[in-house]
Structure 1
Amino acid sequence: MKIFANISWLIATIIIFISLGILIFLFHFVPEPMAPKISAWIIRLGTFFSVEIEGKEDPEANMILLNHQSDMDIAIMETSTKKDLAWVAKKELFDIPFFGYALKLPRDIPVERENKTSLVKLVRDVKSRLDIGKTITMFPEGTRSTKGKMLPFKVGAKMVADKYRLRVQPVVIIQSAKYYNIKEYFYKPGRVKLIYLESFVAEKADKDWLKNLREKMQKVYDDELANNPRHR
C-alpha cells in the first residue's frame, strides 16, 4: 500500500509543479490575483482535495495567520478566500529556480527569520503590499509541524501586526499532513477542514497576544480532533 501512496505523492507533486508553470504563464495575461487562484484550484481539483469551511471570513482583516502542516496549505487557503494574498515565506524558497519565480511574480515576501536586518525589510515590504490592497498571510510557526502540535510562533508576525495595527484573522487547518506529507512522500485524496476564528486588532501593549493566540489555535485544533474521529 505504501508504494501506491508514494506513486500518488509523485503524481500530486507533478500537478503542483504544473500549476506553478500555469501561474507563471497566466500572470502576464490576467488581472491579480487570478493567476495564483487558478493555480491553487488546479492543485485542489487535480489532487481531489475538498475543503470544509467553518466560521466566517472577516472582509476587513488584512492579516491572516494559519498553522502549517503541508505544502497543500497554500492551495487550501487560496481557494478558500477571494482576497489577494501576499505570502510571507523564508528567503531560501525565493532562490529556488522556477519555484522562486512563482513566488516573486505575485509579490510574496521573503524573510530571513534569524536576520534582524531582514525583519526591518519585512516591515517595509508588508507596508508596500498593504498599500496595494493585499492581505498579509503568514505561517507564524515558520515551518511545517506535522505531528498535531503547533510550534512556537515567530516574533515577525507580531512585529508587523503591531506596527500597522493590523486586523488579524487566525485560521486553523485540520490535518492537512494526513493527506500530503512531503517528508514521507505520502499522498492520498481527502477532505480538509479550515476554521476561521474571530478576528482582532493587534495591540502592541498586549505583549502576549501572539503566545495566547497559539494556545487558542492549538485548543481549537485539539477539540476538533477530539470531537471528530474522521480527522484522526
Structure 2
Amino acid sequence: MQPASLWRWLWTAFNLLQFGFTLLWTAGLISVALLLHALSGGDRRLPLRMAARCWAPGLLGGAGARLEVEGLERVDWSRPHVLVANHQSVIDICALFRAVPVPLHFLLKQEMDRVPFVGWYAKAMGMVFIRRDNRRAATASLRRAATLVRGGAILCIFPEGTRSRDGSVAAFKPGAFQVAIDAGAQVLPVALEGTGAVLPPDGFFRVRPGRIRVRFGAPLPLATDVGPLDRSALAAQARSAVLGLLR
C-alpha cells in the first residue's frame, strides 16, 4: 500500500472512531440533561449550561479543534440579543455554545426536530423550529422566536439559511431580522472562521484538527438618527459587519 493510501485509510478509520464518539457523547449528555430537566420540574438553566460546559467542549476536543474567542467584552450579556452568524458547518453550533457565556437558544430548521436526542433536547430547551417551505408556518415560528427573546433569551440565527460550501457568505435573509425588530433586541453580528475546515459540510464526517475563531462584533441598534431600520436594512448591515469581522 502506498503511503498516501495508507494515510487516507488511517484518517478514515480515525474519523469513524470520532463519529462513534460523537454519537455516544451526544446521546449520553443529552440523556443526562433531559433527566435533570425532568427532575428540576422543567428548569432549563442547568441543561442549557451543560451544552456549553460539557457537550460542546467534548465534541470540539474530540475533533481536535482549538477554539479562540474574541470580542466578548463588546457585549452586555445581561440583555437579550439576536445573534446572527455565518454558517459553514454543523460544528458551528458547538463553537457558539462554548463561546457565548450565557445560555443560548437557536432557531433551527424544522427537519432537526426529527433527529433523535438532538431534536428531543432542542424541544425541551425551548428552541424554535422553522419550516422554510411554508410562509405562514415560518411567520408563526418567527413570532415565537420574538416572544422567546422578549422573555430575556439570547437567540442565534444563521440568516444565510444554509451552510456555505466554499466559505463565502451568502446574502442574509431579511425575515430572520423581524425577530429582533419585534422583540426590540439588538442584533449581534458573529463571525465564525475555520469551522468548515475542521468539519466540512460535504461528505461523511471528514474531521481534521484545526483552529476555530469566534469573533463578536458590536451590537447593531434597531434605529439610526433618521428613524428605525427595516429588516432588509438590518440584514445588509449585519452581513457587512460579519464580513468585516472575517477580514
Task: State the 1:85 CA deviation.
Answer: 1.1
Find the partner of 2:64 among 48, 52, 58. 48
Q: Could you tell me whether the CA contact under 8 Å between 2:80 and 2:149 is conserved in 1?
A: no
Total equivalences in the alignment: 222
Query: Which stretch has the larger CA shift, 70-79 or 20-29?
Result: 20-29
Q: Does 1:162 align with 2:181?
A: yes
Task: State the 1:177 CA deviation.
Answer: 0.8
Residue by residue over 1:52-71, the C-alpha shift from the partner in whole angstroms, topping out at 9 and shown as x without a partner, is 11222511352111111111
Q: Does 1:200 align with 2:220?
A: yes
Q: Which residue does 1:229 correspond to in 2? A: none
Q: Does 1:189 align with 2:209?
A: yes
Secondary structure of 1:171's match? strand
Query: Which stretch has the larger CA shift, 200-209 or 49-58?
Result: 200-209
Q: Distance in 1 between matches of 2:115 and 2:221?
A: 35
Q: Could you tell me whether the CA contact under 8 Å between 1:32 and 1:84 is conserved in 2?
A: no
Q: Which residue does 1:65 correspond to in 2? A: 84
Q: Could you tell me whether the CA contact under 8 Å between 2:60 and 2:94 is conserved in 1?
A: yes
Q: Could you tell me whether the CA contact under 8 Å between 1:52 and 1:193 is conserved in 2?
A: yes
Q: Distance in 2 between matches of 1:177 and 1:119?
A: 27
Q: TM-score, normalised by structure 2?
A: 0.80
Gaps of 5+ in 1: 224-232
Secondary structure of 2:148's match? helix
Task: State the 1:169 CA deviation.
Answer: 1.1
Q: Which residue does 2:238 correspond to in 1? A: 213
Percent same amino acid among aligned pairs?
21
Q: Which residue does 1:176 correspond to in 2? A: 195
Q: Distance in 1 between matches of 2:108 and 2:17?
A: 25
Find the partner of 1:13 among 12, 16, 19. 19
- In structure 2, the CA distance between the partners of 1:135 and 1:98, relative to structure 1 (3 Å rule), is same
Secondary structure of 2:169's match? coil
Q: Distance in 1 between matches of 2:20 and 2:125?
A: 21
Q: Counterpart of 2:207 in structure 1: which amino acid?
A: Y
Q: Could you tell me whether the CA contact under 8 Å between 1:61 and 1:199 is conserved in 2?
A: no
Gaps of 5+ in 2: 1-6, 38-45
RMSD (CA atoms): 2.1
Q: Distance in 1 between matches of 2:147 and 2:241?
A: 30
Task: State the 1:209 CA deviation.
Answer: 2.2
Q: Does 1:3 align with 2:27?
A: no
Query: Which stretch has the larger CA shift, 202-211 or 153-162?
Result: 202-211
Q: TM-score, normalised by structure 1?
A: 0.85
Q: Distance in 2 between matches of 1:105 and 1:13?
A: 25
Alignment of 1:42-191 (within 5 A): 42-57=58-73, 58=75, 59=77, 60-185=79-204, 186-191=206-211
Q: Counterpart of 2:170 in structure 1: which amino acid?
A: L
> Which one has the bigger helix percentage?
2
Q: Could you tell me whether the CA contact under 8 Å between 2:88 and 2:195 is conserved in 1?
A: yes
Q: Distance in 2 between matches of 1:134 and 1:117?
A: 24
Secondary structure of 1:52's match? strand
Q: Counterpart of 1:79 in structure 2: which amino acid?
A: R
Q: Could you tell me whether the CA contact under 8 Å between 1:141 and 1:152 is conserved in 2?
A: yes
